[in-house]
Structure 1
Amino acid sequence: MAKASKKGGLVGSFGFQVLAGMVLGLALGLLARHLGTEVGRPGHSLSEALGQAGSIFVQLLRVLVPPLVFTAIVASIANLRELQNAAALVWRTLFWFAFTALIAVSIGVALGLLLQPGVNTTVAAAAAEAPHVRGSWFDFLTGLVPSNMLGLQAATTLGEDGAQTGLSFNVLQIVVISLVFGVAALKAGPAAEPFLTFNASALAIVRKILWWVIRLTPVGTIGLFGTAVAHYGWDALSQLGAFAIAVYVGLALMMLVVYPSLLLANGLNPLKFFGGAWPAIQLGFVSRSSIGTLPVTQAVTENALGVPKPYAAFAVPLGSTTKMDGCAAIYPAVAAIFVAQFYNVPLELTDYLLIVFVSVIGSAATAGLTGAVVMLTLTLSTLGLPLEGVGLLLAIDPILDMGRTATNVAGQALVPTIVAKRQGILDLDAYNAAVGEIDRDLAASPTPAA
């Protein structure tokens, strides 16, 4: 498949098609914004069409996440007999999750103190509004213990019409359910072989369907990027410019300095990593969804970066739920300092240590929920800061969310790659040949479970 993807040249490559989708989405978004996106204005229909195209694409990705996570993890458990150091892989993965989160939150705190976004802002206090959803430390337990066999839960999202509650799936609960089924299948012995064979076949089918959906990425990119551009609040961006700069500088430092430094320290070429992980990072940027990007992240981690499938099937889904350097480390650190500065609340050394603690541990506590707003409310409530400060930042959240999600996805692929390299199980030939072509990465057949 790799050769086939190269025959089309640059124009036929997946990366070029997605880039073209971003350019077209930008043009259509600007057009809709120029015509006016309010009801009754000429640009409203265009804006709605872009929004529907993007939403349908993300929905198609999300619907494949539960079967992909379940079948991939069960297959990985069945294949754990091939990995002699499974326990060491788990603990090292958790360590690197926490270590990179510690670096990210330290950068966020430093930038918040240096750039003082809460002081250098013109946003009006009237924009303050308490959020409808909040993070809680009890969410960690509810996120771990499945409430039903499908991992379904009620989820509240914020939209233009206020808070809306609907059914969603809890990926962390699906991970737990999958681990239990996988271990039980191993303990059941020969009686479970038909189930494991069926699971391997189901995994192959899910990956094939996923490949078809991913081919729609250029179309989805037009809708997602166009919608973001059409609804950007440029006035709000100018009022919160210092805050947006602080967040994006922090994200850039993680992506362009910290991640490459960690790769070099472990004997890995950063250019090869970003070349292999780029499809997932790119999709994360336009979709603003780590969960929606999970199938692609797992595919590139396994096939382009050379991480063994049994290990990647465990580490990547877990990372997509709890490993968020952008949303759960840099952003809440800068935002908490912004809110403290805006309301003239002095922070002590212990408060900054609490920010670090919440960012390193708190992402697990909010694993059952979604969105950076939840993580921010957990940080603010832990520090005793006004939750109304969240409303000050919501106007430019889509602008920040693109960079946050891209950083999240990069970190979710980075940690398994580094751990696999340190454990001596990384396929260096695959890593050094990483080209990040979706055709090759998703068309690769999964390893049979038996």
Structure 2
Amino acid sequence: MSLLRTYRQPKVFGLVVVVALVAGALLGVLARQADLDWLSTTLDTIGSIFADLLQVTVLPLVFTAIVLGIASLRGLGGARTAARLGGKTVLWFATTSLIAVLIGIAVGRVVDPGKGVSLQPDKATVDKLASRDHGSWLDIIENLVPSNLFSAFADGKILQVVVISLAVGMAAYTLGDRAEPFVRFNRVVFDLVQKVLGWIIRLAPLGVLGLIGHAFATYGNQFVRPLLSLIVAVYVGTLLVLFVVYPLLLRFVGRVSPVLFFRKAWTALQFAFVSRSSGATLPLSRQTAVNLGVDPGYASFAVPLGTTTKMDGCAAVYPAVATIFIANLFGIHLGIGDYVLIVVVAVFGAIATAGVTGWFTMLTLTLSTLDLPPAVIATGIAVIYGIDPILDMMRTATNVAGQIAIPTWIARTEGLLDDEVLHSHTAPPLLEPEPAREPVRA
């Protein structure tokens, strides 16, 4: 059971979240205009409880996700040809992720979402922000290494937990079958966390109502502009990747007409936009790649791999823009080192968490890598969640486009692209997506 299954409940859930967003804004404005302190306090309490519930799941989610992701990479082994294709595919995944995250950072700096609003966390968080050192790489390296295995978890030092999980995941990968009981245990823990998180997400309408309501009660109508600026920044960044980066690579690397690509891929992209699920779109994505002339065997390998690791919308553009948004909300200055870390997480994070990657995991990884306080991470994510359905549609469409486009131009370079099939007028069939055992939400 994946937490992301919650997002695929009947559309009424998304509608309820939107209604809660509007209701929270109206209640916040009422509390501010009528000077109703009790209403503002109530909204703040509801939002804080929801943020705290999210915070509880962060450490076990990040640890088990990375361990399981690295252990699952054993599936790339095998024949020499498969290894070469796998390595080339992953390399292009990482390359396009690098381009996408740089676009996300650039758009984020230009639009500067969240600028003009300052959310003030509690005193302990303020003190930690004040003592945060941005300028020393030595401090960053020292903070990577935990002095005690258990203290990293007990003290909520997420960056150290990430390092521990990377080491444990690589050890599990190396041990192979001997580590299978441990991997299965992590799968159980991950499923348990996902189950609990799914229950928490069901409380999202209440959490959104409280968080947005308190924000409007505190800052008034000025909070509308930062949320709209976040939507604009995410859409601009993903559209640049979707309609500029991919077409250029298709044209000059794959020698495939972008117009032809989008004509054949449009059904899958539309379904991805509406369903907001790369996993649910997988059958259409694979068939689209085949209809573009990609060898069916390679398409069956590369497209599913891309469904779990190739997420330029969710794992590159979005975390970069959202991190800038959250930093602006809390008045946190991001230095050059912080942007470098954002790039590193975008390029390697999705691959490290293969099979379990989603916007929540990637955004949490990005924020925690910058060593932001847990209260800032949980509150920032909870604020964004109110408009996440709007953001997620475009993110998912971008993800799926990359999952189809990259295998297409790699197939060209490997002589695995059939030009007769590519230039045929066969349209992708309208497939009924088969339910996956472990659906991955984009």
TM > 0.5 between the two?
yes
The letter for the 2-side match of 1:156 is Q
> Is the CA contact (8 Å cut-off) linking 2:315 and 2:358 kept in structure 1?
no
Q: Is residue 278 from structure 1 mapped to residue 266 from structure 2 by the alignment? A: yes
Counterpart of 1:141 in structure 2 is 169
Corresponding residue to 1:297 among 285, 290, 296:
285
In structure 2, distance between residues paired with 1:29 and 1:324: 25
Indicate the larger mover: 291-300 or 239-248: 291-300
4+ long deviations beyond 4 Å? 120-126, 133-137, 142-146, 157-161, 233-239, 439-442
> Is the CA contact (8 Å cut-off) linking 2:269 and 2:400 kept in structure 1?
yes
Corresponding residue to 1:345 among 309, 312, 332:
332
Cα distance, 1:441 vs. partner? 11
In structure 1, distance between residues paired with 2:256 and 2:236: 24
In structure 2, distance between residues paired with 1:435 and 1:106: 36
In structure 1, distance between residues paired with 2:352 and 2:408: 25
Corresponding residue to 2:381 among 365, 387, 390:
390
Report the 3-state secondary structure (helix = DSSP H, G, I; strand = E; otherwise coil) of the residue aligned with 1:156: helix
Counterpart of 2:247 in structure 1 is 260
Corresponding residue to 2:350 among 331, 340, 363:
363
In structure 1, distance between residues paired with 2:333 and 2:77: 49
Corresponding residue to 1:436 among 419, 427, 430:
427
Counterpart of 2:276 in structure 1 is 288
Unaligned runs of 5+ in 1: 1-24, 39-75, 165-232, 443-450
Following superposition of structure 1 onto structure 2, how do residues 45-444 of structure 1 map, counting pairs within 5 Å?
85-120=81-116, 136=162, 138=165, 141=169, 147-148=183-184, 154=191, 155-156=193-194, 162-163=200-201, 239-266=226-253, 267-302=255-290, 304-386=291-373, 387-388=377-378, 389-433=380-424, 435-439=426-430
In structure 2, distance between residues paired with 1:77 and 1:435: 34
The letter for the 2-side match of 1:430 is V
> Is the CA contact (8 Å cut-off) linking 1:305 and 1:430 kept in structure 2?
yes
In structure 1, distance between residues paired with 2:292 and 2:269: 13
Give the TM-score normalised by structure 1.
0.58
In structure 2, distance between residues paired with 1:412 and 1:434: 22
In structure 2, distance between residues paired with 1:124 and 1:246: 23
In structure 1, distance between residues paired with 2:275 and 2:431: 21
Give the TM-score normalised by structure 2.
0.59
> Is the CA contact (8 Å cut-off) linking 1:276 and 1:431 kept in structure 2?
no
Greater fraction helix: 2
> Is the CA contact (8 Å cut-off) linking 1:308 and 1:426 kept in structure 2?
yes
The letter for the 2-side match of 1:390 is I
In structure 1, distance between residues paired with 2:242 and 2:338: 27
Q: % of aligned pairs identical?
A: 41
In structure 2, distance between residues paired with 1:373 and 1:29: 20
Report the 3-state secondary structure (helix = DSSP H, G, I; strand = E; otherwise coil) of the residue aligned with 2:194: strand
Go from structure 1 to structure 2 and tell me whether the alpha carbon gap of 1:102 and 1:158 turns closer, same or farther (over 3 Å shift).
Answer: farther
Q: Deviations over 1:293-322 (max 9, x none)?
A: 1122112112x1111111111111111101
The letter for the 2-side match of 1:91 is G
Report the 3-state secondary structure (helix = DSSP H, G, I; strand = E; otherwise coil) of the residue aligned with 1:240: helix
In structure 2, distance between residues paired with 1:383 and 1:37: 33
> Is the CA contact (8 Å cut-off) linking 1:307 and 1:420 kept in structure 2?
yes
In structure 2, distance between residues paired with 1:125 and 1:434: 57
